[in-house]
Amino acid sequence: MLTAVIFGAHPWNDTPYGLHHIARALVKLGWNVVYVEPAFSPLHIISGRRRGRTFSKRLRSSGEPGISLISPFSLVPHANMPLLRSSMALKFSKLLWPALSKTLKETVFQSPDLVLCGSPSMIRAAINVQAKTSAYRLADDSRLFDVLTPAIRKEEQSCLSEFDAVLITSPKLKVTARNAGARKVVFVSNGVDVNYFQTKTAIPSDMPLQGPRILYAGAIETWFDWNVIINSASSRPQYQYVIVGKVAIKPEVDLPKNVFLLGQKPYSTMPGYMRAATVGIIPFASSESMDAVNAINPIKLYEYLAAGLPVVTSIPVPHVEDAAVIVYSSASTFSEKLDEAIELRHSGYHIAPPKECEWTSIVARMLQSLNL
């Protein structure tokens, strides 16, 4: 059986991100996987942000067949905070318990067939694993994330050349990878578990059901365009704008009454929210780094399509050409594109993601590109 060690940027029990899906797809393809969670520290314990991470000297079960977990602990946290963001703090944060080499020793993962890293803070630990093939997954432009310290950004850039390949989720990230000295650059798109979003589940009780429902499902960070939502909600009072996700950046003004902030919800409820929606939206913008925003290949695009929703987005996705993906170029045209999407939805047009965007297909092609 082939083996993989995946270094994730998010805990296993978090909302599923790309590496969660890749781990599950590998298992479907017959692999055995260890998922290494980002290190937790006393800071995470005090703030209640352990998210299921726990002390263990050995591999522990994820609760899913074929996937084991390691939750490294670091006594010294590295975070974008005074005193903790320095290069010295980063150096000490790498003193992990248990040492990964000891945890993997005398297991089938001691010399895995693949190491796949998507965590800038764990990049050196990933390089130190003696794998037959190593790859780094560059999922986004790091400028989008204030949580990443200058020290981590610098280390990520300096380490990419040490991997056999750098996997990019958007063609726009190719220059970033090449400038960092990547030996080989492979485009590996984000995708979707189609069956998960086509399963009929209960509609959550807090989902408004009157009028067309405009849904955003995901994190609300600096690149979320509140202005386009507020202006559109004011001009289309008959539409209900539903925002599901953790709000890290709040709007600067009061929201219209037809905008509903429902907060972060379990991933298991997402198919229900999408089932009740009319249109899915991706309203991203940034006055400072629009090129970084345009390099995002949002997983939610494929999830919306799998749920049968037309998508109105500010981000062109070149490899997904479909009438159901409607791109707006300015705030003034956003509402018009929503009207167009609602009309398409009511026309009976068949909406689905491209077949090649199912996670198992994506990972199979990834392995072929890595000669595995």
For residue range 117-162, what is the model confidence (pLDDT) as tens digits?
Answer: 999 999 999 999 999 999 999 998 877 777 788 888 999 999 999 9
* DSSP character string of 194-220: HHHHHS--PPPTTS--SS-EEEEES-B
Report how far apart, in Å, the C-alpha atoms of 115 and of each of 111, 128, 242, 360 are: 9, 10, 39, 18
* DSSP character string of 270-320: HHHHHHH-SEEEE-B--SS-HHHHTT---HHHHHHHHTT--EEESS--TT-
Entry pTM: 0.94
Smallest Cα–Cα separation from 32: which of 75, 61, 12, 57?
A: 61
Per residue of the chain (372 residues), give pLDDT as tens: 999 999 999 999 999 999 999 999 999 999 999 999 999 888 788 888 888 889 888 999 999 999 999 999 988 887 777 877 888 877 878 888 888 989 998 899 999 999 999 999 999 999 999 999 999 999 988 777 777 888 889 999 999 999 999 999 999 999 999 999 999 999 999 999 999 999 888 999 999 999 999 999 999 998 999 999 999 999 999 999 999 999 988 898 999 999 999 999 999 999 999 999 999 999 998 766 778 888 899 999 999 999 999 999 999 888 888 999 999 988 889 999 999 999 999 998 999 998 899 999 999 999 999 999
Smallest Cα–Cα separation from 77: which of 125, 126, 37, 121?
A: 121
